[in-house]
Amino acid sequence: MSSLPDPSLIADALLPLIARAAVAMLLTMLVVRGLLWLLAIRSPHLHRWSSLLVLAQGWLIAPLVISIPWYDPPTTTTAPVTAAANIELPPVDATPRTEQQTAAIDNSLHRHEPVATAPALDLAELLPFIRRSLATIWLCGVSGLLLLAVALYGRHCRQAAYHHRLDSTTAAQWQALLQQTQGPPQLPLRLTTAIGPLLCLLPRGYEVWVPQRFWLACTTAEQAAIVRHELSHYRRGDLWKSWLVYALALPQWFNPAAWWAVRNFLQAGEWLCDLEAAGSPPQRAEYLQALLRLVELQPPRTTVAGQCAHAHPLLVRVRRLLSPSLCQDSSMNKVIICGALLVAAVVPLVRLEFVARAAEPPAALVAVKDRMQTMDGQLAKVKEAVEALKERGSEIKTSIDSKVSDLKKLAENKDQLSEELKAKAQVFMTGDEQAQLGIVKEIDKLASQDEQVLALGRMAKDSPHETVRRAALLAALAKGEAGYPAVALAFEALNSKDRGFLAQELNKQTSTDKLLMFVAMMKNADDELTQTLLGLELPTSQRLIFLGALADSRKDDEKFAAQVMELADKTTGDGGLLILYAAAKVGSGKVVAEAVKLAVKRKQDAWPVLAAAYKKEDKESRAAVVRAAKELGGEGGDFLVKTALEESNEELRTAAEEAVK
């Protein structure tokens, strides 16, 4: 048996599953068989599906486990240890002993009497041996049945060489029967000595085997009836189906329920073929006569390659043929049996497991959950505000781009410019700082609004003097939305310091449109400008909207994430905490770990951030949360650490264990 799998593996892994499947199959068989009898189900199709359902239970090795919290978790209590000083000893007799008493005590101490001991039977050592023995028996049964099937099939193939040859008359008669019954013309007939009638499958193909004595004794009508029966097996693929049900029964070879299901399946197949062979009353009479003659002349035999036409209870088949209504069931019975079969198929797939109820979280963590809901509501409002800001940004961008295009066309066509603007342009070209500042101060004297915006944009862009550039930017911002095209004309030419100045001046405005400008300025911003923009004194709501608008474009920028974390650390109160909470919800492992680390500085206010980070299923985040919970301590910290150490995910549990060390 060296080719067999290790019985220890079978005993440890498969044997419990096979045993459970055996019980499920046996119970399902009892239920199905009881329903078939109680409802008097006669349909061969329902009998076949019922048998398949029973056989399927033998392969049910991985049911769906549904855990139902049912009982309180066990609590461990430590019994108090009694101090040795509290143990009361009996009083000591201080009376002096005589010499006789002393000698008696010495004799009793030195006398050794044999004590009979019974060998102890260690059940813990016996159980593995029993499991291995059962696994070995199961493997031997499976292997033995497979070898037996192969041997029987091989013997059947060898017997095919000794069949009688058909004479020309019998061969012609056989072809006529095939035409009459609409059978395949290439299907051969083999006349045997004692095997058949049956349809068998050999390596060379399908064949119909009929005992020679029986074939010659039958009339042509009886021969046609037998042929119709065997052709029904051929058309229905019953040989393949029978091999399939035997294979399904193989793991449960020791279970009588499996062999009942196989027998019932094959018998129902014979019923179906009988009905097809006896389609009309004359054909029914011919087929019944053929069955009776077959029983008289030939005992039934079953082989691996096929089954005889009369290898099933003859009385039941005759009753079915004489009363075709016995194969019909009422609609109500069909509905009931189908529903019952569906339930019987689903119930074994599910295993209910009563487990301990989850421990109630501390009251402090319940309060944290409420606060998290509040913070989630705040973030939802921020998200809505960001979407509204994006819509507003699209409108402003369209308006500014259109106006900038018009201003560029105006600058290219000098004939459209006023003489006053041309004169100011000549003065600007001298490069004198004071003269340029004077132009900025008198810019409102230009009659055309477009010329004012164009002049401010060109001076902010082209002036070599910082004071002039910034004065032009201030004049453009003073015009509100109408001055934005001037800023757009000059922005690309501004250096980082001028852009920082522009940001500081924009921040003095109350409109949220400034946030759109900040977001635009963050594109391709250097470190200095980024620090300026992130360090602007903004109301908490506007700061969150600003960071939310940047989140999509900078989500993979680790440097930007570090700057945001630094900003959150410097922002006191709920504003900074909300930034850390948002980072813990949507950030990556490194960002989440940093958010948790900074949140710990806020002591008890850090719990919402830790709770959000705990939902992340990466090792770095989980380790950071466990370290933070351990540092914060208290009832909430102990609960979080305990929960992390009981995590079902092995990687996360290992990360928590490493963090606790």
Per-residue pLDDT tens digits for 216-234: 888 888 888 888 898 999 9
- Classify burial at 204, counting beta carbons within 10 Å of its beta carbon; exposed 0-12, middle 13-18, buried 19 or more: exposed
Asked if residue 114 is part of any domain, the answer here is no
Q: What is the pLDDT of residues 189-203, one digit of tens each?
A: 888 888 878 888 888
> Which single residue is written with the structure tokens 């691996």?
304
Asked whether residue 135 is assigned to any structural domain, the reply reads no
Q: 546 lies in a domain?
A: no
Pinpoint the alpha helices (H) of 111-191: 123-159, 168-180
Cβ proximity of 536 and 509 under 8 Å: no
Task: Supply the pLDDT for residue 261.
Answer: 93
CB 585 within 8 A of CB 349: no
Cβ neighbourhood burial of 593 (10 Å; 0-12, 13-18, 19+): buried
Q: Do both 392 and 248 map to the same domain?
A: no
Mean pLDDT of the chain: 81
Q: What is the mean pLDDT of residues 534-552?
A: 83
Lowest mean pLDDT segment, chosen from 210-219, 311-320, 375-384 = 311-320
- The pLDDT score that the predictor gives to residue 79 is 39
Q: Using the predicted structure, report yes or no on whether residue 339 has a pLDDT greater than 50.
A: yes
Q: Evaluate if residue 315 carries a pLDDT over 70.
A: no
Q: Do 270 and 391 sit in the same domain of this protein?
A: no
Mean pLDDT of the 333-340 span = 82
Report the C-alpha dihedral over residues 352, 354, 357, 358, rounded to 10 degrees.
Answer: -60
Asked if residue 505 belongs to a domain, the reply is yes
Average pLDDT, integer, range 616-634: 88
Cα(398)–Cα(400) distance, integer angstroms: 6
Q: Is residue 283 part of a domain?
A: yes
Query: Are 391 and 244 members of one domain?
Result: no
301 pLDDT more than 60: no
Q: Are 410 and 482 part of one and the same domain? A: yes
Q: What percent of the chain has pLDDT over 70?
A: 82
* 45: enclosing H helix or E strand: helix 44-57
Q: What is the pLDDT of residue 537?
A: 87
pLDDT at residue 77 in the model: 42
The verdict on residue 540 lying in a domain is no
- Region at 607 (left for phi over 0; alpha for psi -120 to 50; beta for the rest): alpha
| Residue 233 included in any domain | yes
pLDDT at site 344 = 74
392: domain range?
A: 386-526
Which of the pair, 295 or 4, is modelled with greater confidence?
295
pLDDT in tens, 443-460: 888 888 888 888 888 899
State which of 508, 526, 544 marks the end of a domain.
526
Q: What is the mean pLDDT of residues 326-330?
A: 64
67 bridge partner residues? 353
Which of 526, 554, 573 is the last residue in one of the domains?
A: 526
How far is Cα 128 from Cα 432, in angstroms, rounded to an integer? 102
Same-domain pairing of 324 and 191 = yes
How sure is the predictor about 2, in pLDDT bands with cuts at 50, 70 and 90?
Answer: very low
Q: Is the pLDDT of residue 1 over 50?
A: no
Q: Say how many domains are in the chain.
A: 2
Percent of the chain at pLDDT > 90 equals: 7
More confident residue, 95 or 571: 571
pLDDT value at position 467? 92
Residue 99 has pLDDT above 60, yes or no: no
With 80 as the cut, is the pLDDT of residue 530 above it?
A: yes
Helix (H, G, I), strand (E, B) or coil at 223: helix
